[in-house]
A and B are shown apart, each in its own frame.
Chain A
Amino acid sequence: MIQVQGLSKSFGKVKAVQNVSFSAPDGQITGLLGPNGAGKSTTLRMLYTLLKPESGTAQVDGFDIRESPLEVQRRIGVLADARGLYSRLTSRENIRYYGRLHGLEGETLEKQIESLLFLLDMQTIADRKTEGFSTGEKLKVAIARTLVHNPKNVLLDEPTNGLDVMSTRAMRQFISRLRGEGKCVLFTSHIMQEVAALCDQIVIISRGEVTANGSPDDLRKQTGRENLEDAFVAVIGSEEGLE
């Protein structure tokens, strides 16, 4: 469960995020939709406590991101925009490292790694060094390490970026699966169709501000457009970001 109240952040004179508020409930997929540079990643970075908000705050399962960042970090799994792996470590070692940083160890950790390897269909690459992995293979390792501590809240920054059709499809199924497990899933995307297909709730961000917020049906009603794509264009006021 993630609740966001009035988050703002500037870099120099650029107001990256202004007064963003929304909430992402458990068991639902919430999509942050907006064109490139709209402030989606900055919002996410404040939620996973890497950036400090200038004003406003947010809570993850009731823990404030400003006051108890470590408690927040324990409760989230994050696929950040930067998803670099350690190329001299194997997939399993990469995942194990993050598990240990979350305080897991021994049998519990190894079992959890094994089930993630199975779930993401990556047994064949489990004990290979990640150097030279394809984009899809790298993403699988990044996702596995994101989920190794079985977080209640999952934050995904542009999870389908750079994936081919098959991998994108698998990724979407995986996100739905997380919802099925009762997790709170928050992901960003600039792709309308993806958000429309997956999300229970859409938060549209444009130029750092929330311009619309609601279920796909709500958005259609608010804008008076039948088609969600038209609704999106109406909300952000331009056609940028449509693919």
Chain B
Amino acid sequence: MMKKIMVIFNKEMIDNLRDYRSWMTGFFWALFGPLLLGGMIMLLGNSIREKVDQPLVLPVAGAENAPSLIAYLEQQDVIIEPAPSDPEAAVIAGDINVALIIPSGYGEDFSVGKTAKVQLIFDSTRQSAMADIRRAQTLLESYSEYIGLLRLSLRGVSPEVIRVVQVEETDTATPQSQAMIFISMLPYFIIFAIFNGASPVITDATAGERERGSLEPLLINPLPRGWVAIGKMLSAMPFAVFNLIITLGGFAAIFRLLPVEELIGVQIGLGISALTSVFLICLPIVFLACAIQTLIASFTKTTKEAGTYLPFIGLIPSLPGLALAFLPVKPDLWTMLIPTFGQQILINQFLRSEPILGRNIVVSTVLTILLSVVITYIAIKLYESERIITG
């Protein structure tokens, strides 16, 4: 039995390797993830760094009306600039992020202890301006509070009278956890690469074989059709594994070559041991990817038809990974019951160097393999039916 399966496997390998255009397409998807992520880290990293390092530049109209406010702001490292003649238009045009207008009545109101008005102009829908807007707001509020407290003290009232609740904020977010959004996208790209490594090869070996009219003569040879299906499925696995290695290697290279620590403020640990663990955890997905795609290619009539399904098939199991980047899920046992989802959580844990339950690895691996076996069985049954010949 193994011998005949190997005959199928060997022939498919030669055939597939010579069809370099197909596997190069799959190969491209393996590079896609690392390149995209590298680009994103460089872009976002640069903009984050600029925001933090640079002092707030605040265009002010009527600065002469509030010398004490201006002095306070300058004390807080704000660079005060004269505002353009029409600050509102300048904000709308995006020339400036925020502008402060101090009306001429400010000084009078301030002196007699009335509430003095200032105007802050901004566009809250502009994400890139949010950091500047928030800093300007916070500074103005803290100035207001500072002066208010001074006035109360002068009247002999304890500032605590108006401070009913004091909020002490403890932000557990470290720069590291911000950068984890990047890391959380890795599982998505890894699984996508596995599926896309296998799909061109499987399409050609099954749907392509039918299209060329070579499937019927092949099936007349004296071997059970299940062996043909298994041999073909196995021949796609090296390509999926190859893509997995390329993707992982690509990510490792990105994290090593790019000054990631400088860009996003953290060192991401993607050492040999983490890479090996991720690789091993993903092997059952290789089986699953090849099984699912063998199944689909066995009932599609042409490579074109198969080509319309297969990319989506890779997308669906990898989508939870994308969601994980924004909605963190705890590695509960139920998540391990869902093939590909469990692995994505495990990959995340490895990359974050979190402690991992051996039980979770076993459950996720066993279930993925079980599902793959079931799907392979269905594919074999499809191969054994007459429909594979008659269409």
- Whether the pair B15, A52 counts as a contact (CB closer than 8 A) is no
With A87-B212, A97-B11, A100-B7 known to touch, is A80 a contact of B220 (CB < 8 Å)?
A: yes
Q: Does B138 contact A (CB under 8 A)?
A: no
Residues of B within 8 A of A142 (CB): 217
CB-nearest residue of chain B relative to A48? B220
Interface class of chain B by DSSP: helix
> How far, in whole Å, are A154 and B292 apart by their CA atoms in the complex?
37
Chain B residues, Cβ within 8 Å of A81:
216
Chain A residue total in the interface (Cβ 8 A) = 33
Tell me, yes or no, whether B175 is within 8 Å of chain A by CB.
Answer: no
- In the complex, the answer to whether B213 meets A98 with C-beta atoms within 8 Å is no
Q: Would A83 and B220 be within 8 Å (CB), given that A51-B386, A51-B389 are in contact?
A: no
Contact with B along A77-117 (1 / 0, CB 8 A): 01011111111110001000110111100000000000000
Instruction: Report whether A98 and B216 are in contact in the complex, using a CB–CB cutoff of 8 Å.
Output: no
Whether A88 and B212, one on each chain, are in contact in the complex, defined by CB atoms closer than 8 angstroms, is no
B223 touches A101 (CB 8 A): yes
Contact present for A50 and B221 (CB under 8 Å):
no
Q: Provide the bound-state CA to CA distance between A52 and B225, in Å.
A: 14
Most A C-beta atoms less than 10 A away, residue of B7, B15, B389, B390 = B7
A84 pairs with B213, CB closer than 8 A: yes
CA distance A81 to B222 in the complex (A): 18
**A3 interface contact, C-beta 8 A:** no
* Residue A123 CB within 8 A of the other chain: no
* Smallest CB separation, B3 vs chain A (Å): 8
Bound CA span A71–B222, Å: 7
Question: When each residue 119-153 of chain A gets 1 if its CB lies under 8 Å from chain B and 0 otherwise, what string results?
Answer: 00000000000000000000000100110000000
A73 at the interface (CB under 8 A from B): yes
A167 at the interface (CB under 8 A from B): no
A170 contacts partner chain B, Cβ-Cβ < 8 Å: no
Instruction: State whether A80 and B222 are in contact (beta carbons under 8 Å apart), knowing that A51-B386, A51-B389, A89-B15 are contacts in the complex.
Output: no
> Which 8 interchain pairs have the tightest Cβ spacing?
A84-B213, A84-B214, A82-B213, A73-B222, A84-B212, A101-B221, A82-B216, A88-B18
Q: Name 23 A/B residue pairs within 8 A (Cβ), A-sorted.
A: A11-B390, A45-B389, A49-B220, A50-B216, A50-B386, A73-B220, A78-B220, A80-B217, A80-B220, A82-B213, A82-B215, A82-B217, A84-B209, A86-B15, A86-B212, A89-B18, A100-B11, A101-B222, A101-B223, A103-B4, A103-B222, A142-B217, A146-B217
